[in-house]
Amino acid sequence: MAFRDDIYSFFKRYLLISLISLIILFISCSGDGDNSIAKSASSAKGKAGNVIVVVIDGLRNDEAFDDSSHQYIPNMWNNLKPQGTINTSFWNTGITLTTSGHTQIVTGVRASLNQQDETSPDLRAKYPNIFEYYRKQKNVSTDKVWFVAGKGYTTGSVGDSLHPDYADFGASSESLSRSDDETWESVQQIMDTSHPSLMVINLAEVDDTGHLGVFSDYTDAIKNADRIVYELWQKIQSDSYYKDQTDLIVTSDHGRHLAGYYTGFKDHGAGNHGCRHIMFLALGPDFKQDETVDAGRDQIDIVPTIGAILGIQTPYAEGEVMTELFNDSTLGRDIVTGGQRRVKLSADSSGLHVVWAQKNGEEWDIYYKKSSDGADTWTDPIKLFENGKDNNYFYEAAITSQDNGMVYVVATGYSLIDEGGDTYTWKVFGRRSLDGGKTWEDIRELKEAKVFAGYPDIASKGDNIIIILPTVGSPYKRYALYQLTSIVSNDDGLTFSDYTVSDRKKEQTIICPSTFIGQNTFYAIWTNERNSLDYTYWNVFLSKSDITSVAWSSDKPITSNTTDKKTFFVNNSIAVNDYELMKILITMRQDSSDNKAGKWKTLIKSSNDSGNTFSDENDFYDPAVYDAWNANVSFTNPVSSDFIVVWEQHYNGNGAEIYAREMSLAGWEDTIQVTSTDGQDSAEPDLATYNGSIYVGWQDYETGDWRIKVQKLNLYSSSYESLKTQIRKIFRLKP
């Protein structure tokens, strides 16, 4: 018996070396899907060696550039605007709150974050920010990069992200509850002593006084902020370090409700014109003088624009360089602002279905391809959701498919509407094929989320489809309404109804949802903060519902963090086999009290009783050496207990590659490095399996731009039985 096991073990190792097929697809093909211009990882820079951004918190544009008298901003209008450029069509299309607005400004990615306060844990962005890009790429010391704020807890975590490649590259940060004059005094001291080359300043009083509801106090605060901005520009021009070497950007994190909406100017957090339409001014050696532009732009465009000025790439940012602002029309052309991203896979008896987002203009088109021969050949790309068509702008997609030919793609995006003037509302859209992806029905609107709709996940089984995603609706009282929403069909995608999975009014942030369908049960997991009085920190939760009569159970915590504001959970994934054996992957990091970043560790939780109790699986990698990030899990087939894990493994901040590992009855098999070590990121993997066929997709940065790749793996579970048969023939062994 031992002899047989040794033989099997030898041949399994041989499989790893010589029988794993690597069938790779570059989805950047010809036709509408082509975007093949590779961009250099390095870039030219502007004339300015310094950039300062001022965020006037909560300034409604009705009291700024949209006011024809400009009575509250005389300095910016009379003295600064002639020296620079204003944009009259600048927007916060994400969540119109302070924490999320500032996060969007510094990351270039829309943030599904609520307000951080003294009771909440640290609310940090998943993706890197401009401080981290700059410090890492230019080897800049901490004292040269500053975030200075008067908002206290609300902006206390803006200077640092959670991304493992950028750990401990954040900004020097000073976020205190104080007046704008006190913030200005601190800014001057920092400029004199450190001469930062990158600085973001929050002036908080406009928002703070606005919330008190006295309009004259609110406008007085605007006048004071206007004075400070002008004095800042004067200081820049009087300091030899900054003079003629500094670009200044002035904007806001959000506006305020219009009169007649909710509580009027007193509050914000909705999607009406007053909350979304914000001011934008840019001046300095790189910007045109005395210009007004009306190109539709967004907070997420600020980071790539700063990247163009400072000569750095901002690869995870999702906005565009605002080239219309520059004197040099070529500045920013080599900044990566799009490419192909966020690939999602689904496999069935007819083959492999793939969707991804591809930048074309301000937002993203959603494309689809299919392979029916194990990823050897592919259909031509189909543009399922087109950016700008019918005033809809798409962002994120997910896909599911069935053996009966049903393929369903869900996409989130925002639509142009009139709510006190032009503005945008977020929606969830769907598109169905009933012939395996050959033809597609028209796009359907499944739900209007209003303020924001986050990354969706989707699953299907039999006639049932479930979509799950975080949504932010119209304000509950004065605050935006955060929910985890499920959208369910029991008739193969013909009709849908939506149900709330988790609803704690304003007191939560919901991120990283994942869903699966068991034999008779919908499952949902997600990361939540301030979920209840007992769980006021980041944790991961599970809820489930009967398929035929949807009623979600109370949120069940899978993790038990009740004390630590600096423990983070992201990147959840769930899989359930036909015997209700459940595997859940959770990625966590625990930082030190002085903000020193810990290692990202991916946990595997296992349940054989439909999620009532859980046990921990052994580690599938070395958590002391590597960061495991963006992990996904799937059973190799629905009746097997064998499962496969794929993840993004980081090397102490030196890039990431994709790895895979299988758990079989014999235990953890050897780790497979799916992508080659090339010093460029391979990121955001997705996983699909069908009866032993295993597919991995990811976005790859090896060409200096993001490109989608898909690879088929032949692992142990799909080859082991046939291999054992061959071994028996060779050695004349009995079964």
- Inform me whether the pLDDT recorded for 212 exceeds 70: yes
Q: What is the token pair recorded at 173?
A: 């940060």
Q: Which of 388, 151, 337 is nearest to 254 (CA)?
A: 151
Three-state SS at 551: coil
Tracing tokens 């999320």 back to the chain, one arrives at: 100
Give ∠ CA 540-544-546 in degrees, rounded to 5.
175
Three-state SS at 534: coil
Tracing tokens 């030196």 back to the chain, one arrives at: 654
pLDDT at 534: 61
Three-state SS at 344: strand
* Range with lowest mean pLDDT among 63-72, 481-490, 556-565: 556-565
Quote the percentage of the chain above a pLDDT of 90: 72
Q: Which of 168, 260, 304, 223 is nearest to 653 (CA)?
A: 168
pLDDT at 337: 84
Give ∠ CA 289-290-294 in degrees, rounded to 5.
105
pLDDT at 564: 83
pLDDT at 16: 42
pLDDT at 36: 26
- Mean pLDDT calculated for residue range 424-437: 97
Task: Check: CB of residue 540 under 8 Å from CB of residue 514.
Answer: no
Q: DSSP letter at 380?
A: P
69 vs 78: CA distance, rounded Å: 11
pLDDT at 476: 62
Task: Check: CB of residue 151 under 8 Å from CB of residue 99.
Answer: no
Q: What is the token pair recorded at 313?
A: 């790439």
* pLDDT tens-place string over residues 571-606: 999 999 999 999 999 999 988 888 788 889 999 999
pLDDT at 32: 41
pLDDT at 710: 95
- Inform me whether the pLDDT recorded for 531 exceeds 90: no
pLDDT at 17: 36
Q: Cα–Cα distances in Å, from 527 out to 224, 469, 502, 537, 587?
A: 40, 12, 11, 10, 10
583 vs 605: CA distance, rounded Å: 6
Task: Check: CB of residue 600 under 8 Å from CB of residue 587.
Answer: yes
Q: How many Cβ atoms are within 10 Å of 189's Cβ, its own excluded?
A: 11
- Classify the phi-psi angles of 229: left when phi > 0, otherwise alpha if psi is within -120 to 50, otherwise beta: alpha
Residue 26 pLDDT class (50, 70, 90 cuts): very low
- Mean pLDDT calculated for residue range 258-284: 96
pLDDT at 621: 85
Q: How many Cβ atoms are within 10 Å of 521's Cβ, its own excluded?
A: 16
pLDDT at 724: 38
- Inform me whether the pLDDT recorded for 448 exceeds 80: yes
In 213-327, where does DSSP find H-type helix?
Answer: 215-238, 273-276, 302-310
654 vs 685: CA distance, rounded Å: 18
pLDDT at 504: 62
* pLDDT tens-place string over residues 83-106: 999 999 999 999 999 999 999 999
Please give the single-letter amino acid code of residue 215: F
586 vs 573: CA distance, rounded Å: 7
Rounded mean pLDDT of the chain? 88
Q: What is the token pair recorded at 584?
A: 């859940």
pLDDT at 482: 85
* pLDDT tens-place string over residues 127-159: 999 999 999 999 999 999 999 999 998 888 899
Quote the percentage of the chain above a pLDDT of 70: 88
Please give the single-letter amino acid code of residue 65: F
Q: What is the token pair recorded at 206?
A: 């406009």
- Inform me whether the pLDDT recorded for 727 exceeds 60: no
pLDDT at 41: 43
Give ∠ CA 118-569-713 in degrees, rounded to 5.
160
396 vs 471: CA distance, rounded Å: 13
Tracing tokens 């920190």 back to the chain, one arrives at: 537
Q: Which of 633, 632, 634, 684 is nearest to 657 (CA)?
A: 684
Q: Which of 460, 343, 451 is nearest to 401 (CA)?
A: 460
Task: Check: CB of residue 582 under 8 Å from CB of residue 641.
Answer: no
Give ∠ CA 648-652-657 in degrees, rounded to 5.
25
Please give the single-letter amino acid code of residue 599: K
Three-state SS at 226: helix
Comparison of pLDDT for 379 and 483, the residue scoring more: 379
Residue 474 pLDDT class (50, 70, 90 cuts): confident
Angle (deg, nearest 10), helices 2-18 and 716-731 = 130
pLDDT at 625: 81
- Inform me whether the pLDDT recorded for 35 exceeds 60: no
Q: DSSP letter at 77?
A: I
Q: What is the distance between the terminal CA atoms of the chain, rounded to a whole angstrom?
A: 11
Q: What is the token pair recorded at 5?
A: 């096991």
69 vs 588: CA distance, rounded Å: 52
* pLDDT tens-place string over residues 38-80: 334 456 899 999 999 999 999 999 999 999 999 999 999 999 9
Highest mean pLDDT: which of 211-215, 538-542, 710-714?
A: 211-215
Comparison of pLDDT for 463 and 10, the residue scoring more: 463
Q: Which of 362, 319, 339 is nearest to 680 (CA)?
A: 339
Sheet with 84-87, edge to edge strand ranges: 172-175, 145-149, 198-203, 50-56, 246-251, 280-283, 84-87, 291-293
pLDDT at 298: 96
- Inform me whether the pLDDT recorded for 648 exceeds 60: yes
Look up the pTM and report it: 0.92
Q: What is the token pair recorded at 250?
A: 């002035």
pLDDT at 438: 97
508 vs 408: CA distance, rounded Å: 30
